[in-house]
Amino acid sequence: MQHELKARLTNPAALLPGALPAIQDLLKVTREGGVPESTLELVHLRASQINGCGFCVDFGVKSARKAGVSDAQLFTVAAWREAPYFSAEERAALALAEAATRIADTSDAVPDPVWDEAAAHYDEKQLAAIVLMVGITNLFNRVNVTTRQPAGTVTW
């Protein structure tokens, strides 16, 4: 039985003047870091899955498809370690995204081997783009989960 999901509040980024343009500007900057858009979308999707943000998972799948992410990758991103559909570069970005999203799970939130593997595939500018994408995604996730934004709706 399906029940109606209703947001607690209009998305805060829509309620506070200047918030949405600032977030969009920061998001745009991540796209200028030299990381393939498909990889950034996978990072966004995986962090959103970890945080249980239905709105962002739904939106992320749609954005990832537009960026050329394959169905095989979309269907297995939650189990990327066991799936053959990801490049070494994508795996390094996903590992970094998971570690940076789960910072409270361990005292060494982003262990050196995770960082070093990402740094072996990406230069500093690209690493900056991935780290910012993870941070922005976690911002989106926390706002949307807190205010219970339903999947499949766009309020801003």
The per-residue pLDDT for 97 is: 98
Contact 40, 133 (CB under 8 A): yes
144: part of which helix (H) or strand (E)?
Answer: helix 124-146
Contact 14, 156 (CB under 8 A): yes
The per-residue pLDDT for 155 is: 46
Q: List the domains of the chain with CATH numbers.
A: 35-146 (1.20.1290.10)
Contact 140, 51 (CB under 8 A): no
Contact 122, 89 (CB under 8 A): yes
- pLDDT tens sequence for the chain (156 residues): 555 688 898 888 888 889 989 999 999 999 999 999 999 999 999 999 999 999 999 999 999 999 999 999 999 999 999 999 999 999 999 999 999 999 998 899 999 999 999 999 999 999 999 999 999 999 999 999 999 988 987 644
Cβ-based neighbour number of residue 6 at 10 Å: 9
The alpha carbon of residue 10 and the mean position of all alpha carbons in its chain are separated, in whole angstroms, by: 21
Q: What is the rounded distance in angstroms from the CA atom of residue 93 to the CA atom of residue 108?
A: 18
